[in-house]
Amino acid sequence: MANKASLKRAEDFIDFLNASPTAFHAVHSAKLRLEKAGFKQIKERDPWSTHLQPGGKYYLTRNASTIVAFAIGSAWKPGNPVAMVGAHTDSCCLRLKPVSKRTADGFMQVGVETYGGGLWHTWFDRDLSIAGRVMVKGKDDSMEMRLVRVKKPIMRIPNLAVHFGGSVPFEFNKEAQLFPITGLVSAELNRMGKTAEEVKKEEAERSSDGGYEPFKTPTQRHHPYLIEVIAKEAECKPDDILDFELVLYDTQASCIGGLNDEFIFSARLDNLGMTYCAVEGLIQSLSSPSALKSDSTIRLIACFDHEEIGSSSAQGADSNMLPSVLRRLSCIQSSTTPSTSSDSSYDRVNSSEDTSTAYEQTLATSFLVSADMAHSVNPNYSAKYEPEHKPEMNAGTVIKVNANVRYATNAPGIVLLEECARRAKAASYQPPSTKSEKSSGKGVPLQLFVVRNDSPCGSTIGPMLSAALGTRTIDVGNAQLAMHSIRETSGCYDVEYGVNLFDSFFEHYGELEAKVLVD
């Protein structure tokens, strides 16, 4: 079995996963870690010119499901580079429909929508519950958002028994046969101590009482007891619930597994795996009190919602969020303290000079690492992989390449990231092939991946952001199995590799950017 020190980072990642059943919770988890590391919250609606200073650490959110965090080097000047890591907070899931209340053959059911391209057959016969955000009545007619998570399994999608034609893979209609059961009608009536007729009469009376309502209330659109359960988690009265965005999640906790503790078994590895590495890589790069002292760049992470459905939303990577953040950052004035940087190549725009082109200069010199989980070779389907590009678990972060630019990787980016990997802190665990390098205290491994010419290729936020910004970009990710399943598998030691790689990227990009000459 692995030694405890080598599993420390994986165990921390497990804690992050178990605290983050939804994108809202993932952003909240990231906020807590960033605040503990000294980051201060700012808002898009505020004037940043009076809030941000070189040497400062800040974060902002949008829709509570996307988060951007950055640290400004003390030697920053308008127009200087930004070193960026981008990831996404969402995962394929099932979401409660606006009107979810269903009954059939004595069962209470809930209607759900499919979100993203999930392997939906894996959601059958799992212990499911709900989590997300609830809008509730606050004081003075305010409307507050509260995170909720029901830990008890309260739903299940039952498979059809083989005796009735059930098969593997089981074919089903996503609209008609993907209803989770959440109880028995008889048990619900017994709990209420009422007959079905009495319940119908009360519902009719409730609909006719009170003032005007544009449409049915949450208690009318969903099972009333489900609303009671949600209200308990939100610490409010059922009638105070205005609306919600709730998704189903598997209550089985993430864990470390395998004969030698080499695997992580969990939901949402795609893409909380790289969200975690981005957050912790940024924090680790700032662990030294002098980390920003002579840094003339900005270190930034952006973890977006809605990647699984194309990123076309106000909080997605295809929105104005990152461009607007970069535009505002590019014009931040230099510190009054003279720069201690020995690299004069970044003295592009002085604080007293015109900053009208600072944004364009920043984009031209910046670099984005698009971080989204990659595919490990599946030993049961080895022929599906290109023979010379079969990523392995616990063998390092994967650089993803595609000639048709489904990934944004190119040769200059590979060279730059390879140098960052070479300079990175060595991880606690070293594969047998690299143990001889451990004495140097440096370096993490990398891998390369391309799909077969006769296979489809997924995509990431990398191509869309590189097109929108004109910024150099590379696509990477840690290897995993069963992507988009309700229960995925990745390698324990790749977590630390990813964190150390991003740490090195943030620390060394300012120096390396000027050395990669392609213009």
DSSP letter for each residue of 38-83: T-EE--TTS-GGGT--TT-EEEEEETTTEEEEEEE-TT--TT--EE
The chain-wide mean pLDDT, for the chain, equals 92
**Would you say 87 and 301 are in contact if contact means Cβ atoms under 8 Å apart?**
yes
| pLDDT given for residue 440 in this prediction | 58
What is each CA distance from 267 to 248, 308, 486, 488, in whole angstroms? Answer: 12, 15, 5, 6
CATH number of the domain that residue 124 is part of: 2.30.250.10
Which residues constitute the domain of residue 165?
93-250
Q: Is residue 360 part of a domain?
A: no
CA-closest candidate to residue 129, choices 171, 175, 87, 94: 94
On whether both 161 and 18 belong to a single domain, the answer is: no
pLDDT tens per residue, range 210-266? 666 788 899 999 999 999 999 999 999 999 999 999 999 999 999 999 999 999 999
Q: Is residue 409 part of a domain?
A: yes
221: burial class by Cβ within 10 Å (0-12, 13-18, 19+)? middle
pLDDT above 80 for 338? no
On whether both 174 and 79 belong to a single domain, the answer is: no
Per-residue pLDDT band for 208 (boundaries 50, 70, 90) equals: low
Alpha-carbon span 60 to 112, nearest angstrom:
31
Pairing of strands 82-88, 128-137: unpaired
On whether both 272 and 409 belong to a single domain, the answer is: yes
pLDDT above 90 for 335? no
Out of 27-31, 338-342, 441-445, least confident range: 338-342
3-state helix, strand, coil in the chain (%, to 5): 35, 25, 40
On whether both 18 and 76 belong to a single domain, the answer is: yes
pLDDT above 90 for 337? no
On whether both 69 and 183 belong to a single domain, the answer is: no
User: Two tokens at 82?
Assistant: 């930004």
CATH number of the domain that residue 311 is part of: 3.40.630.10
On whether both 304 and 382 belong to a single domain, the answer is: yes
On whether both 227 and 116 belong to a single domain, the answer is: yes
Alpha-carbon span 379 to 21, nearest angstrom:
29
Q: Is residue 67 part of a domain?
A: yes
Q: Is residue 343 part of a domain?
A: no
511: burial class by Cβ within 10 Å (0-12, 13-18, 19+)? middle
pLDDT tens per residue, range 346-359? 444 444 556 889 99
On whether both 205 and 114 belong to a single domain, the answer is: yes
On whether both 25 and 161 belong to a single domain, the answer is: no
CA-closest candidate to residue 462, choices 370, 371, 365, 366: 370
Share of the chain above pLDDT 70, in %: 91
First to last CA, the chain: 50
pLDDT above 90 for 391? yes
pLDDT tens per residue, range 19-64? 999 999 999 999 999 999 999 999 999 999 888 999 999 999 999 9
The pTM of the full predicted model, rounded to 2 decimals, is 0.94
- DSSP single-letter state for residue 356: T
pLDDT above 60 for 344? no
448: left (phi over 0), alpha (psi -120 to 50) or beta: beta
What is each CA distance from 152 to 113, 132, 321, 371, 409, in whole angstroms? Answer: 21, 15, 36, 33, 43
On whether both 113 and 77 belong to a single domain, the answer is: no
pLDDT above 50 for 161? yes
Q: How many residues does the chain have?
A: 519
Q: Which residue among 217, 250, 283 closes a domain?
A: 250
Cis peptide before 500 (omega within 30 of 0): no
Q: Which residue among 192, 225, 250 closes a domain?
A: 250
CA angle, 101 as apex, 96 and 107 as ends, to 5°? 110
On whether both 318 and 420 belong to a single domain, the answer is: yes
Q: Which residue has the higher pLDDT, 432 or 268?
A: 268
On whether both 63 and 112 belong to a single domain, the answer is: no
Per-residue pLDDT band for 516 (boundaries 50, 70, 90) equals: confident
User: Two tokens at 244?
Assistant: 């919600």
Per-residue pLDDT band for 366 (boundaries 50, 70, 90) equals: very high
pLDDT above 90 for 111? yes
Mean pLDDT across the stretch 148-157?
A: 98
Per-residue pLDDT band for 201 (boundaries 50, 70, 90) equals: confident
Q: Is residue 342 part of a domain?
A: no
Count Cβ atoms below 10 Å from residue 224 Cβ, excluding itself. Answer: 18
Alpha-carbon span 47 to 52, nearest angstrom:
9
Long-range interactions of 147-151: CB distance < 8 A, separation 24+: 147/24, 147/25, 147/28, 148/230, 148/233, 148/234, 148/244, 148/246, 149/21, 149/25, 149/233, 150/229, 150/230, 150/233, 151/251
Q: Which residue among 197, 220, 250 closes a domain?
A: 250
| pLDDT given for residue 351 in this prediction | 45
Q: Is residue 352 part of a domain?
A: no
Structural domains in the chain (count): 2
Q: Which residue has the higher pLDDT, 355 or 405?
A: 405
Burial letters 298-317, b for 16+ CB under 10 A, else e? bbbbbbbbbbbeebebebbb
| pLDDT given for residue 205 in this prediction | 67
Q: Is residue 196 part of a domain?
A: yes
At residue 433, the 3 state secondary structure works out as: helix
Alpha-carbon span 115 to 427, nearest angstrom:
36
Q: Is residue 357 part of a domain?
A: no
DSSP letter for each residue of 302-335: EEES-GGGTS-STTSTTSSHHHHHHHHHHTPPPP
